[in-house]
């Protein structure tokens, strides 16, 4: 795997403290992904589910440099209770088409 560390989003649970000491647990996300979500005001999976996943991805792309397409798959997977790799395999084309419509597709 070329020395890179890969995170299995659906099996990793991270806890963080926000600036106001609110404990945050985002099951299924690693520490960096959790920190990115907290930076746009999402502190829990329940909160994530109340937002449009494409809008969340747009906010992440604007606020967090290097936000990847895999993060989009992980967002969808978390909402649907699946592994991000299943989302990537089964829905990649649909997601890419929607991102393209919104001007968010990777270049």
| CATH classification at residue 97 | 1.10.150.20
Per-residue pLDDT tens for 49-94?
999 999 999 999 999 999 999 999 999 999 999 999 999 999 999 9
Asked whether residue 106 is assigned to any structural domain, the reply reads: no
Asked whether residue 5 is assigned to any structural domain, the reply reads: no
Asked whether residue 1 is assigned to any structural domain, the reply reads: no
Average pLDDT over residues 16-25: 46
Containing structural domain, residue 27: 10-101
Position 18 pLDDT exceeds 50 = no
Express the helix, strand and coil content of the chain in percent, nearest 5 each: 55, 5, 40
| Rounded distance between C-alpha atoms, residue 15 and residue 86, angstroms | 25
pLDDT of 27: 75
Domain count, the chain: 1
Asked whether residue 74 is assigned to any structural domain, the reply reads: yes
Asked whether residue 87 is assigned to any structural domain, the reply reads: yes
pLDDT of 21: 40
Asked whether residue 4 is assigned to any structural domain, the reply reads: no
Within 10 Å of residue 95's Cβ, how many Cβ atoms? Answer: 21
pLDDT of 48: 96
Q: pTM of the entire structure?
A: 0.77
């Amino acid at each position: 795997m070329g020395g890179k560390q890969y995170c299995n989003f659906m099996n990793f649970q991270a806890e963080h403290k926000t600036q106001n000491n609110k404990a945050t647990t985002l099951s299924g996300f690693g520490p960096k992904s959790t920190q990115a979500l907290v930076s746009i005001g999402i502190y829990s999976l329940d909160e994530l589910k109340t937002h449009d996943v494409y809008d969340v991805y747009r906010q992440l792309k604007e606020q967090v440099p290097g936000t990847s397409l895999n993060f989009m798959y992980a967002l969808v997977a978390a909402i649907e209770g699946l592994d991000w790799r299943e989302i990537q395999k089964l829905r990649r084309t649909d997601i890419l088409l929607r991102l393209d419509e919104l001007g968010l597709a990777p270049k």
